[in-house]
Amino acid sequence: LGKLYAKGHIARGFKPVYWNVVDASALAETEVEYHEKTSPAIDVRFSIVDEGTLEERLGTLTGRGPLSVAIWTTTPWTLPANQAVCVNPELDYVVAEFEGNCGRERVLLAEALLETCMQRYGVEDYAVVGRAKGKQLEHLHLQHPFYDKTVPVILGGHVTVEAGTGAVHTAPDHGVEDFEVGKAYAMGTLNLVDDHGIFKDHTGLFAGNHVFKVDQKIIDALTERGKLLHGTDLHHSLPHCWRTKVPLIYRATPQWFISMHAKDLLKTANEQIEQVQWIPEWGKARITAMLASSPDWCISRQRTWGVPIAFFIHKTTEEPHPDTMQLIEQVAQKIERQGMDAWYELDAKKLLGDDSESYRKVTDTLDVWFDSGVTHYAVAQKRLGIDLENEKRASLYLEGSDQHRGWFQSSLKTAVAMHGIAPYEQVLTHGFTVDAEGKKMSKSLGNVVTPQKICNALGADILRLWVAATDYGAELNVSDEILSRTSDAYRRIRNTTRYLLSNLNDFDPVHDRVQARDMVALDYWIVYKTRQLQHQIIDYYERYQFHRIYTLVHNFCVLELGSDYLDIVKDRQYTMQTDSLARRSAQTAMFHIAEALVRWIAPILSFTAEEAWRQLPGARKDPVFVQTWYGLDEFSTPGEVTDADWQGILEVRKHIGKQLETLRNEKVIGSSLDAEVDIWGAPDCLYKIKNDELRFVFITSSARLIRDEEVPETATRISDAHGNEYFIQLQKSPHPKCIRCWHYREDVGQDAKHPEICARCASNLPGGTGESRFYA
């Protein structure tokens, strides 16, 4: 507060502000929200006192009946405070003659609204008997509709023809535009309404009435005096207190303000918006628009609690004490030692000496948004080392989408005022939790889902995964069905992690790890893919795109791993010799994947990640949360079988899988290993897999690539996304089944010692020569 005062940003002013009559306190723009409400909408006659002057200015004025200016208002309670009627100097106005509810009359209103007004009044037959520009009407005298006084016609550019009559009832006490235009005509304020919304004694007719309950009495008074031209109800949006939800009024009172235009605060704030990364990007446009319409910030509140505005002001001049900065410092030291009550219990004489006779202590408190807005100085600077003076800003401010008008904005204003710089490098905004249909949660609707209930029923990681999986840029839908789907997704990630760990049971990364250059081609490729994926995930973490991380991790577990890689390597894991290079190669790949995967999910699935981390082979002294990203640099280049090759191979595998499923449904085969596959005109990528290893990719007992033979009519023609055309035929294998690997092979029983297994399995038995794999 002291720093802002010293830099000339804080001043005392008298102007209309939002006023809560329940709390008897001012509110700032940021504390206002809008709700629908029904109000009386009335047209009121202000009789023209000097008809001769009007006729003289118009040049021609005909017709008969009393003359009046019609105004339209949805706040009848403000009519006692009326001091003028305002017209737009550049608009065209007409005098219409018609038969009204009080007989023949002539009414002046904006020409652009003539037809609309006549329809509203139920008038079909009318005549225009005079015309004028708005500026010709200035200083005409009108009779107040129920007080014995005249009020002038004044000019204001804020008058429009969007609604009403084009002539605006003006009460400087109860409207910002009214107050500003009133100042131009040296109008003061009447101060008819007290802190609690009650009309004071000098209001006359309506003294003692509450502003929210007086409308009908005012309408009755207008009717009795023949001044009510028309009345109806209007359903519209009105300002309400964000906390108490009660309607607000405008009320002119002395308050403390931070000027948005003095010292170019608004201009500098807009410049600083450009230096901040807004996440999502629409946050930038939102806060820019809010700043553009932001008036001077009213920082004072009339409350008995809160941070005090520790000023002393002169009893006559209302000016702050000349030693305000030194006094604030002394008060701050007292509050630091004794707490906030030190101000309220302070004896002004002890602090001011003889000046205490001429100065009084300010009893206002600070807007709570000011309190939160200066956390960059009061909290972050001391605790986190944030130093805006030296352009060391907070990395991130994170809050809900309503804070563009609240904390984000108050922080920006105070930081720019104090240091000329935004307090944050990034601002991230999230939506709010709603039910499956997008409805706000409410006990009365019975759609509330509590976090504790989710944690108790499903576990904290499910709750965390739901948050991460939802795009926070919009509202976050949650329901039992959505959480059930989240649970299914969680199980897929967990089961994949569990499968990786179970296959590393006998793996020692120190002794068993295979160098990248020696790994089986499929294993190298999947780790290469893991490295690529990790780069994407890191990028998304840095950009807070958690829902994209969820999609990448989930798809990787379900598709690349679950549907392809882990399915293919089962044969190697379960049939080859324990210490064979090919089996250790698969385990090395799984180890690398698990090391990376656990780190990927740690910020989201914290409990699951730590549980898995403790089960990974190797020394695990520190928790996963203090680890850096897993290094996979030795897999930075494509292998002999490139990524594009593997994508093509797996696409063929997918087509074969569909054919296998057809054979299963037709009861031709049981499992895929019952089948053999022949491919004519195969894509080049399939020829990269040599040594009869393609069958392990397709999980069939045989896979032949045929070049020269004629394609049989029974083969299925395939056209893939890459423009390749080839033919596939599957048939049940005629060979015997190996009881160990379940492949149907011609060489089953070739080894007399093992008549029920194939030659490959015989070599993989203890003491055998073992099997080599290079591709799959």
Across 262-372, where does the E strand assignment appear? 277-279, 297-298, 300-301, 312-314, 359-361, 365-366
**The amino acid at 304:** T
Q: What are the residues whose beta carbons fall under 8 Å from the beta carbon of 186, sequence distance 6 or more?
A: none
Q: What local confidence, expressed as pLDDT, does residue 773 receive?
A: 95
The yes-or-no verdict on residue 445 having pLDDT over 80 is no
What pLDDT does 118 receive?
92
CA distances from 279 to 396, 397, 473 (A): 10, 10, 8
Give the per-residue pLDDT at 86.
94
Whole-angstrom CA distances from 669 to 179, 657, 673, 677, 734 are 88, 13, 9, 13, 12
Angle CA 368–372–375, to nearest 5: 150
Q: How confident is the model at residue 79 (pLDDT cuts 50, 70, 90)?
A: very high
The secondary structure element, H or E, covering residue 3 is helix 2-6
CA 671, CA 228: separation in Å to the nearest integer? Answer: 89
3-class DSSP state of 232:
strand
Stretch among 23-37, 187-201, 211-225, 633-647 having the lowest mean pLDDT: 23-37
- Rounded to 5 degrees, what are φ and ψ at 190? -95, -25
Integer Cα distance of 750 and 757 in angstroms: 8
pLDDT of residue 126: 92
Inter-residue contact 701 to 675 (CB < 8 Å)? yes
Q: What angle do CA 523, 525, 531 make, to 5 degrees?
A: 110
Whole-number Å distance between alpha carbons of 334 and 323: 17
Dihedral sign of CA atoms 406, 412, 417, 418 in order: positive
d(CA 362, CA 328): 12
294-300 mean pLDDT? 84
Measured between alpha carbons, how far is residue 177 from residues 28, 188, 201, 234, 289 in Å?
Answer: 17, 14, 27, 22, 20
E strand spans, 468-578: 476-477
Contact indicator for 583, 573 with CB cutoff of 8 Å: yes
C-alpha span between 731 and 674 (Å, rounded): 8
Tally of CA atoms within 13 A in the half-sphere of 323 that contains its CB: 11
What pLDDT does 28 receive? 76
Please give the share of the chain, as a percent, with pLDDT higher than 70. Answer: 100
- Distance in angstroms (rounded) separating the CA atoms of residues 588 and 580: 12
690-700 tens-digit pLDDT: 999 999 999 99
Q: What is the pLDDT of residue 453?
A: 85
Residue 724: pLDDT above 90? Answer: no
CA terminus-to-terminus distance, the chain: 70
Contact 695, 703 (CB under 8 A): yes
pTM for the structure as a whole: 0.76
What is the mean pLDDT of the segment spanning 407-429?
Answer: 94
> What is the model's pLDDT at position 440?
81
Give mean pLDDT, residues 562-586.
96
Query: Of 69-83, 117-131, 361-375, 438-452, which gets the smallest average pLDDT?
Result: 438-452
Q: What domains, with CATH codes, occur in the chain? A: 37-235 (3.90.740.10), 310-358 (no CATH), 433-478 (no CATH), 486-635 (1.10.730.20), 660-734 (3.30.2320.20)
**Pairing outcome for strands 394-400 and 424-430:** parallel
- 688 pLDDT band (50/70/90 cuts)? very high
Q: Model confidence at 775, in pLDDT bands (50, 70, 90)?
A: very high
In this predicted structure, which of 167-171, 400-404, 440-444 has the lowest mean pLDDT? 440-444
pLDDT in tens, 181-229: 998 888 888 889 998 999 998 888 899 999 999 999 999 999 999 999 9
Name the residue among 492, 467, 497, 502 with its Cα closest to residue 599.
Answer: 497
Q: C-alpha angle 166/172/178, rounded to 5°?
A: 35
pLDDT per residue as tens digits for the range 122-144: 998 999 999 999 999 999 999 99
435 close to 482: Cβ distance less than 8 angstroms: no
Question: What's the rounded mean pLDDT across residues 445-463?
Answer: 86
* Mean per-residue pLDDT of the chain: 92
Strand 103-110 and strand 84-87: pairing?
unpaired
Burial of 140 (0-12, 13-18, 19+ CB in 10 A): buried
